[in-house]
Structure formats: C-alpha cells, structure tokens
Amino acid sequence: MKTLELLPPNDTMYQALVDRDSTFEGIFFVGVRTTGIFCRPTCSAKKPARQNVEFFPSPNEALLGGYRPCLRCQPMDPVRRAPELIERLRAEVEKAPDGRLTDKELAALSIDPSTARRQFKRHYGMTFQAYHRARRLGRALREVKSGSRVDEARDGSWFESQSGFRDAFEKIFGETPTAAKEQGGLFAERIETPLGSMLAIADDVGLRLVEFVDRRALERELSILRTRLRTNIVPGEHRHLTATRKQLADYFAGKNLEFTVPLAPVGSPFQLRDWKLLQTIPLGETRSYSWMAEQLGDKEMRRAVGRANGENMLCIIIPCHRVIRADGTLCGYGGGLWRKKWLLEHERKWTGKASREE
C-alpha cells in the first residue's frame, strides 16, 4: 500500500536543489519550466531560477505535469541503471510522445512486445503503456493549464512542430486548440492536490468532471463528455472551477469537508440514481455495495452498482470512495486503493467517526 507523504516547503526543496542535498533523494522531483525536463534534487545540471521550477512527489506526477525525464540524472531510474531495452523504449516514446507505440511497431523495431512490457513493469513499477499515456496526457494537460495559443506551442517547449501539438491536443480533447477557443463550451483546469494532480471540467450548468489525471479511464471520460454534450473542451477559467479549486483545498486541509459547487454529472438514468445515493452517505462513514443495491431496489444488483460507481466522473465530490465490501475490506477505486484508504482515514480523522458498514 502506497502512503501519502506531503512535500516539504517549496523554499526548503529549492535550497536542497541548489545544494544538491542527497538526503532529499526520493523525497521530491523538480520540473524545470523553461526546458520541460524533470530532475532529481542532486542533478548536476545548472540550477534554474526559483520561479522556473515546480516540485513533484514522484516521477509519475512529473510526467503527468508534462515533463520528460532528464538524460543526465535519470530521475525515472532506481539506483541501478535501466537496461538497454528500457532506455530504447523511452527513446522511442520521445520520438512521438503524443502517439502510441503498437505491438506491430515494436516488432518492426526488433523489440518483442511481451518482453518490453515485462521488463518495463519490473524496472519502473508501471507499464510501458502507462508511461506513454502519462507523457501524452501530461503534454496536453500542460497546454490546457497554460492556455497557450497554437502558434506559441513550440516556444520554450518540446513539441517538434505546431501540427504535433494540435494533433496531441485533438487526441485528448477532441478539438484543435484554435477551434476550442472559438467554440468552447466546457472549461478545463488542472488542480494540484496532496494526492496528485486532478483535472476539473465545468460549464454554466455545473461541474461535469473531477478526476485524478493518472486515472486510466480519463481519456475515455473526456470523449463521453464531448459526445453526449455535443461540445468541446477548452482551457479557461469558470466560476464553478474556481469554487471547486477552493473547496478541494479546504477539504484536504480539513477546514470544510462539504462541497457546495453545483454538480451536473453526465450518465444514464441508473447511473444518476446511483450517484445520487452515493451523496447520501455521511462523511466519515461507509456503506456496502449490497446496501446500495438494496436501496436502489434490487439487492442482487451489486455488480451493476460497482460498475456505476466506477463510472462516476466526479471523484471525491460524489463519494464513491465511501463504498466498501460487506466484510469491511476495500476494493474497486479507479484512483487507486491507496487513495481510497487515505480519503476514508482523512474523513474519519476530521469527523471523529469510526467506520460504519451496512
């Protein structure tokens, strides 16, 4: 089980970076905005100015922040150097980070796909596909966060061409950036939290999506929103996003665990009923899948309930993390069981409640 370790103060981390303090190895990773590269705190490269860096608790978070690994300090690698095959795979990703490397393409490079998957997973603890997806999504989210114009996409970034940026953006968000800005209906903002980066999407009706950016289903969920609402996603500010950012900050700080931002989930009639029931589970308490099925009219619908919970796009705010097995064990959380455990413990800590299952 992964545990959450909050980062040290930014000034402390920056000083550790300047000093190349080895005691901070593994504690944080630093992204350099001017180069699009992330490093270890002990990297021997010239130190960037304070305003040009941001800090991450893990290499995966840095990838999802839109950064690529430094070739000098190898922040993706553990103490041992990566095998030649792993380095070659990463090099192939950087040739086309906005695309996908299929098994057929790997075979054409004389790389056995099954061997590649096995070695990558063993070395990094994440699949090759997950690494490539993080690079692809991180690039697009970085541009969403900055709101760059198309003709500015190359400046200070690692996109090889403007068309490359447009293609990457369109694959994730469904419209070219120019079209998105002209026709925008859904507004997107990246929000940093102690549990990792999240993407929030809203329109005038309400909040449509809040998800951890490393969730595997995120790209599919963006496609669902575009298709069902017949609109596109544009980087920008919106009053519901501002409210979401503040309320999430209050939630994680323990100041206020209740959410009041208007919600506008997109789903089937059964999903909407399921998500409405989730919102009735009190803070600091849990319910079972069986309880939910019975409340929805059929105690045999446990699997349907599980699927509907898994398709909830409003993570934390519609609290699917409060549903557990009847025996009290955790299961089925798209953001990862370690996050589910943390959220439940966080809510019990601030409400003073012990677990309650029905």
For the annotated catalytic residues, the residue numbers are: 320
User: How many Cα atoms within 13 Å fall on the side-chain side of residue 127?
Assistant: 9
Q: Where are the beta strands (DSSP E) in the chain?
A: 29-32, 37-39, 53-56, 68-69, 186-193, 196-202, 207-212, 233-235, 287-288, 323-324
Helices (H), 125-279: 128-146, 162-173, 177-183, 218-229, 239-253, 269-278
DSSP assignments along 341-355, one per residue: HHHHHHHHHHHTPPP
Sign of the alpha-carbon dihedral angle for 110, 72, 127, 219:
negative
Give bridge partners of residue 200 from the DSSP assignment. Answer: 189, 210
Residues paired with 80 in a beta bridge: none
Gap between the Cα atoms of 179 and 293, Å rounded = 43
Name the burial class of residue 17, with classes exposed (0-12), middle (13-18) and buried (19+) by CB atoms within 10 angstroms of its CB: buried
Measured over all CA atoms, what is the biggest interatomic distance in the chain, rounded to whole angstroms?
64
The vertex-126 CA angle with 125 and 130, nearest 5°, equals 175
Q: Count H helices, E strands: the chain?
A: 14, 10
Strands 37-39 and 68-69: parallel
Count Cβ atoms below 10 Å from residue 63 Cβ, excluding itself: 30
Question: Could you tell me the two tokens for 298?
Answer: 């059929």
